[in-house]
Structure 1
Amino acid sequence: MTSSSAPTVRVFTVDQANAMLPLVSAIVADIVELSRDVISRRERIVDLERRTNYDNAPRVYAEELRLVKDELQSDSQRLQSYVEELRDLGVEPKSGPEGLVDFPAIINGKAVYLCWKLGEPEVSHWHEMDAGFAGRQPIEVDSLTQN
């Protein structure tokens, strides 16, 4: 009996990745919008903490600080649920509010990522597993291994 501790990775063809884009795009759009809100709230917390420590009316800022921290915690949990939703689909979300995702794939017998960015009409690029967005290359249909 053998067991594997590594999770099974879903491998996508370009057609499969493109077929999932309506759902993936909706989730990624939510992630991008919520990421911007989280960044804004973090900046507001820094400002409120400064004001609470140095201004003459800390009570007002302390209450707002508590509310903003509560909202940040709630939004962070929602953000994590969106990320998990993508991972459950077999898609790898990239950190940050840029709207990047990778679909594991095979090109010329080699494991790679099909790379898509929010706003692009279809999956049309790929990159090596360790190359990231900067290493994106256009997909040449004749080089793809179909599953």
Structure 2
Amino acid sequence: MVSGKNKGLTIMNAEAQRKLIFNPDEANLRLPLVRAIVKDIIALYENLHDRQERIEEIKNLPGSTTRDEDSVYSEELLQAELDIENDKEQLKTYEDELLELGVELEDPALGVVNFPTLREGKEVYLCWRLGEEEVGHWHSLDETYSDRRSLLEESIDNDDHNDMLM
């Protein structure tokens, strides 16, 4: 017999395996929240990149070594490294928020996300980038944002957009 605690884990695992399939209209309905999350991701990603560059600059300064506690930069290095770890955790939290919406982060620097969809019975991605008014492109699972094609040129199955177990 499954205990209440284990039963909850089984339900959570089943829900984690569930993958949403979107048609373009459904993806567009999620854009206000997705847009807000992606804006936060881009800002944090840029900040994270800047901090990593600053650490490299400090490490290359005369008198600076990563293991020398007497270095004039040791405290700044330690704080910068802690900040980077915190930023990475926050970035993961934002990515998890997108996943809860059924959306996959493709490129945190550009703000590109993918919405799973069906085209001719095969799973592909609807593709959106921050700054675009609506979802208007798609690409196959093994392609990226740079390979995307316009929805106006290709057809997406609008009838097969219900939840699908993967």
TM-score, length-scaled by structure 2: 0.78
Equivalent residue, structure 2, for 1:114: 126
For 1:7, give the aligned amino acid.
Q
Structure 1 residue 83: deviation in Å?
0.6
For 1:40, give the aligned amino acid.
D
Equivalent residue, structure 1, for 2:156: 144
Alignment counterpart, residue 67 of structure 1, candidates 79, 95, 100? 79
Which structure carries more helix by proportion?
A: 1
Alignment counterpart, residue 28 of structure 1, candidates 34, 38, 57? 38
Q: What percentage of residue pairs aligned between the two structures are identical?
A: 39
Is 1:126 matched up with 2:138?
Answer: yes
Counterpart of 2:110 in 1: which secondary structure? Answer: coil
1:15-51 alpha-carbon deviations (Å, 9 max, x no partner)? 1100000000100110011000001111111111222
Structure 1 residue 93: deviation in Å?
0.2
Give, in whole Å, the separation in 2 of the partners of 1:61 and 1:71.
15
CA change 1:142–1:68 in 2 (3 A) is closer
Give, in whole Å, the separation in 2 of the partners of 1:84 and 1:133.
20
Cα contact 1:48–1:62 (8 A) shared by 2 = no
1:43-62 alpha-carbon deviations (Å, 9 max, x no partner)? 11111122213xxxx63311
Counterpart of 1:59 in 2: which secondary structure? Answer: coil
Equivalent residue, structure 1, for 2:59: 49
Give, in whole Å, the separation in 2 of the partners of 1:138 and 1:102.
14
RMSD (Å) for aligned C-alpha atoms: 2.1
Structure 1 residue 70: deviation in Å?
1.4
The answer to which of 79-88 and 6-15 deviates more is 6-15
Give, in whole Å, the separation in 1 of the partners of 2:32 and 2:126.
16
For 1:139, give the aligned amino acid.
L
Structure 1 residue 114: deviation in Å?
0.2
Give, in whole Å, the separation in 1 of the partners of 2:59 and 2:155.
55
Give, in whole Å, the separation in 2 of the partners of 1:44 and 1:109.
48
The aligned length equals 141
Cα contact 1:126–1:139 (8 A) shared by 2 = yes
Give, in whole Å, the separation in 1 of the partners of 2:88 and 2:35.
20
Cα contact 1:92–1:103 (8 A) shared by 2 = yes
Match runs of 1:76-91 below 5 Å: 76-91=88-103
Which 4+ stretches in 1 moved above 4 angstroms? none
Give, in whole Å, the separation in 2 of the partners of 1:144 and 1:26.
26
